Structure 1
Amino acid sequence: MRKIKNIVFRFLRLIVTIMLLVLSIVVFAQIISRYFFESPLVWSEELAILMMVWITFLGSVLILDKFEHISVDFLVNQFNERIQSIIFIIGYLLVLMLNIVFVIGGWEVIQTTKDSILPGMKISVGWLYGAIFIGGILSSIVLLEHLYTKLKNLYLNQKAGDNK
């Protein structure tokens, strides 16, 4: 299971890196096109927005897996390990609920906008909102894994304490 996860996350990092590279090239090309040739690229702004949204949601999954999101944990660190675990579990559940809303809402928006077209790129607007849906699914999977690990550790620590 760990091997599959590593492959998926390596692929995600590659995709996000490529998107960031494409975003940089497109923005640079737009600047050159607009200021030197006085002929803006009509599709570049849409592609840049599309890339930023996908980078945000896929990057969020990568950061969530490594526990690298910004957090203020000064107060949490004042408690013992058991209370900290319970606080983290509650936090994971709240973020999981948010991601379920992303999945459901993202799917509904995709269905609503799938027939609308981005005029510069000539693709469905659903591709833009697909990032919310996919990011929500992937983040939910990561959160479920973290929840399982925290609950298992909490249970094992409690069992070890009962055996003393």
Structure 2
Amino acid sequence: MSRVSTAALWIAGVGLVLMTGFVAWQVFGRYVLNRSPSWTEQGSVMLMSWFIFLGAAVGVRENYHLGFDVLLYVLPKGGKRWLRMISDLVALAFGIGMIWYGSQLVALTWGATLPSLGISGGWDYVPLVAGGALIVLFTLERIVLRLSGAPIDDALDELPPAEVAAELDTANVKV
């Protein structure tokens, strides 16, 4: 899964760079050439979908997703484990929903053509399905590791609360 995560992160990064190039080309075409290319806007939006959903999936694997961690600071270690398991199950359900509803959107729009790109409109929603599939894989990996007894939460349990971490970080700043 580490290789899949790294590949997704690289693809997302390349997509971000390409999108930046597309937008720069659009601005150059509009203001310098007085002829804006029609494909750059739709291409940029599609690339943005890819890097957002791939990056979000990697964020789920690396435990950078949004969470409500207040209870984690007061619960004993066993309670933290179950709260994190619930969080993973919610992320898993969300990923399944992305696959299910994203697939329906792909099917509904597959017959339409994006005029500026000349490809099926379903490609607009394929990143949603791909990101959902990766979220499912990455959360299943974490759930299986946790259930097998792997110490995946130990490093998280040793982290100080965000407020304390911010104060520690500020205290180490040299003026």
TM range (shorter): 0.7 to 0.9
What is the rounded CA distance, in whole Å, between the counterparts of 1:62 and 1:138 in structure 2? 8
Compute the displacement of 1:10 (Å): 2.7
**Distance in structure 2 (CA, Å) of the matches to 1:152 and 1:79:** 22
Deviations 1:93-128 (A, max 9, x none): 112111111111111111111111111111111111
Of 73, 77, 86, which residue of structure 1 is paired with 2:73? 77
Post-superposition offset of 1:61: 1.3
What amino acid maps onto 1:126 in structure 2?
G
Q: Deviations over 1:13-48 (max 9, x none)?
A: 221121111001000111111111111110111001
Structure 1: which 5+ residue stretches go unaligned? 155-164
**Deviation string, structure 1 residues 138-157 (Cα, Å, up to 9, x no partner):** 11010011111222339xxx
1:110 and 2:115 aligned: no
Please tell me whether residue 46 in structure 1 is matched to residue 37 in structure 2: no
Q: Which residue of 2 aligns with 1:56?
A: 52
Whether the aligned pair in 1 keeps the contact of 2:91 and 2:135 (CA below 8 Å) is no
Q: Tell me which residue corresponds to 2:173.
A: none
- 1:142 corresponds to which of 109, 129, 138: 138
- Match for residue 162 of structure 1? none
The 5-angstrom pairing of residues 145-156 of structure 1 reads 145-153=141-149
Structure 1 runs, 4 residues or longer, greater than 6 Å off = none
- TM-score normalised by L of structure 2: 0.81
Q: How big is the alpha-carbon RMSD for the aligned residues of Structure 1 and Structure 2?
A: 1.4
Q: TM-score, normalised by structure 1?
A: 0.86
Give yes or no for the alignment of 1:96 onto 2:109. Answer: no
SS of the residue 2:69 aligns to = coil
Figure out how many residues of one structure are paired with residues of the other and give that number: 150
1:75 deviation in Å? 2.4
Preserved CA contact (<8 Å) 1:58 1:135: yes
- Structure with a larger share of its residues in helix: 1
Q: CA contact under 8 A between 2:110 and 2:121: conserved in structure 1? A: yes
What amino acid is the match of 1:139?
I
